[in-house]
Amino acid sequence: MKKDLLSICDMTTKEIDAILALTAEVKRYKGRYANALKGKSIGLIFQKPSNRTRVSFEIGMVQLGGHAIYLGPHEIEMGVREAIKDVACVLSRYLDGIVARTFTHEDALALAKYSTVPVINGLSDKAHPCQALSDIFTVKEKFGTFKGVKLAYIGDGNNVLNSLMCAAAKVGLDMEITTPKGYEPSQDMVAEVKAMASKSKARIAFSNDPYIAVKGADILYTDVWVSMGQEKERDARIKAFKDFRIDDALVRAAKKGCRIMHCLPAHRGEEITDDVLDSKSSIVYDQAENRMHVEKAILLKLLKG
């Protein structure tokens, strides 16, 4: 049976551990996998433009000996010019896998439902699983363990946070999440994450005060305050998030030597200052590079087995 990757919440801890272990091997022994997916092809169906997701999947597939084809926002117009079912059924005849970057999570689910080849969620409004797997791989790479490590997330209760919370809860990484009032993750997602955390013994906490959240934190993580599609909310969001910027003062309130993470793209001067993003403590470019290594591991698992 084909296997999809749509949400971290759908994965077992064993599956996550296997992806992380394979990622470490792929990153260290690049040449060993040079022809692992020779003759295989994936399609990148993107309703939203992208830098890291597109390039990392395309180059990752090439480095594995395969081929990637990009189908941008105006090429298919999935769900508008052509029904999702028809797109999924036809592309399944041409491709060995599909990476979908969609406005709604329902579109990704529909693609997976009708596709006979693996579907990977490259981002939806609800989840960003490849990013979260890359994030926890980077944490493990830098700290050697999840046990005793605390990650403070400062910002919006968005798709990135949803997936990162799920990943942390699965592997036993402590997280403290702080958002402005009214911008918290959904209660359904919080309940699901807390249930996962009870099994791994991860501490997942929530607050509306960034200075409480960062106390004792080994890692400070943020994301943009205004994502694609939220431009009309910009003024209200900038006002609501003004006290949630990662700056020198907030960094000093965390553990000395704490690392800085950001999934990028960054709106410099809004959610994070230049001096923090460009500091020696920043690991955002390592984090970005690891997207490709993690995605190569995912492609190997789903397309090769």
Convert the pLDDT of each residue in 135-183 to its tens digit: 999 999 999 999 999 999 999 999 999 999 999 999 999 999 999 999 9
168 in the same domain as 64: no
Q: What pTM did the predictor assign?
A: 0.96
Same domain, 182 and 219: yes
Q: pLDDT value at position 20?
A: 98
Pair 247, 143 in one domain: yes
Residue 132 has pLDDT above 80, yes or no: yes
Domain holding 141, by residue range, is 131-287
- Mean pLDDT calculated for residue range 194-214: 97
181 & 282 share domain: yes
**Mean pLDDT, rounded, for 207-216:** 98
Structural domain contains residue 263: yes
- Band (75; pLDDT cuts 50, 70, 90): confident
Task: Indicate if the pLDDT at residue 206 is higher than 90.
Answer: yes
Residue 3 lies in a domain: no
pLDDT given for residue 68 in this prediction: 98
Q: Which of 4, 135, 156, 223 is catalytic?
A: 223
Rg (CA), the chain: 19
97-101/204-207 β-pairing: unpaired
Residue recorded with tokens 């402005």? 180
Please confirm, yes or no, whether 262 is among the known catalytic residues.
no
What integer is the mean pLDDT of 272-296? 98
- Residue 1 located in a structural domain: no
Q: Give the pLDDT of residue 80.
A: 80
Note the pLDDT of residue 228.
76
Number of domains observed in the structure of the chain: 2
**Residue-wise pLDDT tens digits, 39-52:** 999 999 999 889 99
Q: Choosing from 52, 54, 101, 245, which is the catalytic residue?
A: 101
Residue 2 inside a domain? The answer is no
Residue 237 known to be catalytic:
no
143/221 same-domain check: yes
Label residue 305 by pLDDT band (50, 70, 90).
Answer: confident
Three-class SS state of 207: strand
Catalytic one among 131, 135, 166, 174? 131
Q: Are residues 142 and 207 in the same domain?
A: yes
Q: Are residues 222 and 209 in the same domain?
A: yes
Is-catalytic flag, 258?
no
Judgement on whether residues 114 and 224 belong to the same structural domain of the protein: no
Does residue 226 share a domain with residue 109? no
The single residue of 9, 130, 166, 263 carrying the catalytic annotation is 263
152 Cα distance to chain centroid: 16
Query: According to the model, what pLDDT value does residue 124 have?
Result: 97
Q: What are the tokens at 109?
A: 């689910």
- pLDDT at residue 79 greater than cutoff 80: no
Q: Distance between CA 237 and CA 239 in Å, rounded?
A: 5
Q: What is the mean pLDDT of residues 286-305?
A: 96
CATH of the domain at 164: 3.40.50.1370
Of residues 218, 127, 230, 236, the one with CA closest to residue 180: 236
Catalytic residue among 52, 105, 237, 291: 291
Residue 274 designated active-site: no
Integer CA distances (angstroms), 263 to 52, 79, 149, 220, 271, in order: 9, 28, 19, 12, 12
Residues 124, 140, single domain; the answer is no
Q: Provide the pLDDT for residue 229.
A: 78
Q: Are residues 28 and 83 in the same domain?
A: yes
In angstroms, the CA 100 to CA 7 distance is 12
pLDDT of 125 higher than 80: yes
Portion of the chain with pLDDT greater than 90, in percent: 92
Q: Which of 128, 237, 259, 293 is catalytic?
A: 128
Whether residue 65 sits in one domain with residue 145: no
